[in-house]
Structure formats: structure tokens, C-alpha cells
Amino acid sequence: MAKITTQEQLRGIYAMPKGRPLAKQLDRLEQHCRRFIELSPFLVMGTQGADGLGDVTPRGERPGFVHVLDDHTVAIPDRPGNNRLDSMTNILANPAVALIFLIPGVDETFRINGHAEIRDDAELLQRFEVDGKLPRAVILVHVVEAYLHCAKALMRSRLWDADTRIERSALPTMAEMLRDQTGGAVELESPEDMRDRYRRVLY
């Protein structure tokens, strides 16, 4: 086994892309891109900080929680979280971001690569009001590349198949895992108490 260190070595074992993989890449959001975003309740956002480390974070709400502002811009509300602010701190250092949108039951995914900025304009925040609550900030992503991603990964993983679901009991509870990882520094709570605590601060 040898370490691959150059593009020439890499292309020695992988063919050059051609045809559909190249033709499908867009620089804007047309009707099918917009519809995919409208139906998606979940995305994963990739960023990179000043230290060079990559980071990915899940974002999810009701379908359509991401708003398409125009052919080149999407807006993502930042809901209450753990206040680490990893993604937003990274964006301040390096605005390059990558998004993958998923729709339950659909094996294809949709990808956006672009540049992000963080906004707190009152009018923009108001677009994302839920139950009288506003996000503290909104992440705007300016689209550079947009394309539908093929279904192979989700087909291989059978992600949406009911018979591949793992029983939650296969893992300890979140609190138990955190207790073990932190040497007891995190308070132990029941799954029911944890979900109740989450529900109180979803928005």
C-alpha cells in the first residue's frame, strides 16, 4: 500500500470525469434546484476555519426552512444551539462553504458550493419567525456551484429503508456517552428529560 500524494497518482487510478458529471454543474439555482431546497428539511454545512481544520454541522427544520432569495443566494436561519459557533466562526475566517440537502425518501441529494456571510438585518430575520421567535442571525450563501448528486451513496447505505434502521438501544443514551467521554463532568439525565429540554429551545 502506498500513500497517494499527487494528482497524477490519483488520476492513475481514477478516470477523468466526462459527460453528465460535468454538464450538470450550474452556477445558479433554476427550477429543479429551487424545488429540491423547498422540499428539504435537512442539510449538512461544511466550513473551514483559520486553523485549516474542516467542520460539518447538521441543520434541520420543517421542509423549506432554507429560503431561496434569488438565483444566486440562499438564506439559512441560525436556530438555538450549543453556542460553540463553529460554523459561523469559520465563516468569518474563511467564507467558503459547502451544503448538501437531503429529502427523506429521495436517494438523490443536492449540493451547493459558495461563499457565505452572516447577517442580522431585521427584515431578513423576520422572514424566519416561528412561533413568535426569530433567529439571532441568518447565514447567506452566494452560489458558485450547484448540482444534483447521484443516488449511489444513499442506495449503497439504504439510508431510507425501514429494515436498515438501528434500534436506539444499540447505543448508550447521549447523556451516558457524554458522561463517559468527560469523566463524569456532564450531568446524567434521562432521554426523556433531554428531549424535553431540547424542545423548549428549538426556536
Judge if 37 and 86 occupy the same domain: yes
Buried b (16+ CB within 10 A) or exposed e, 54-86: eeeeebebeeebbbbeeeeebbbbbbeeeeeee
Judge if 63 and 153 occupy the same domain: yes
Instruction: Answer whether 0.75 is exceeded by the pTM.
Output: yes
- Cβ atoms of 64 and 38 within 8 Å: the answer is yes
Residue with cell 442580522: 120
Q: Does the structure show a pLDDT above 90 at 187?
A: no
Q: Residue 19's pLDDT is what?
A: 93
- Spell out the residues 6+ positions from residue 26 whose beta carbon is closer than 8 angstroms to its own: 33, 145, 146, 147
Judge if 26 and 106 occupy the same domain: yes
Judge if 123 and 87 occupy the same domain: yes
Mean pLDDT of the chain: 96
Judge if 171 and 144 occupy the same domain: no
Question: What counts of helices (H) and strands (E) characterise the chain?
Answer: 8, 7
What domain range is 77 assigned to?
19-160
67, 36, 54: which is closest to 140 by C-alpha? 67
Q: What is the pLDDT of residues 20-34, one digit of tens each?
A: 999 999 999 999 999
Judge if 62 and 86 occupy the same domain: yes
Judge if 182 and 156 occupy the same domain: no
Interval 140-144 mean pLDDT: 98
Q: What is the pLDDT of residues 51-72, one digit of tens each?
A: 999 999 999 999 999 999 999 9
- Spell out the residues 6+ positions from residue 102 whose beta carbon is closer than 8 angstroms to its own: 40, 42, 43, 44, 109
Residue 8: inside a domain:
no
Q: Residue 96's pLDDT is what?
A: 98
Judge if 89 and 172 occupy the same domain: no
Q: Residue 186's pLDDT is what?
A: 86
Interval 130-144 mean pLDDT: 97
Residue 173: inside a domain:
yes
Q: Residue 1's pLDDT is what?
A: 61
Judge if 146 and 172 occupy the same domain: no
Judge if 111 and 203 occupy the same domain: no
Q: What is the pLDDT of residues 69-118, one digit of tens each?
A: 999 999 999 999 999 999 999 999 999 999 999 999 999 999 999 999 99
Domains identified in the chain, total number: 2
Q: What is the CATH number of the domain that holds 61?
A: 2.30.110.10
Grid coordinates in use for 150? 447521484
Judge if 95 and 137 occupy the same domain: yes
Q: Does the structure show a pLDDT above 90 at 125?
A: yes
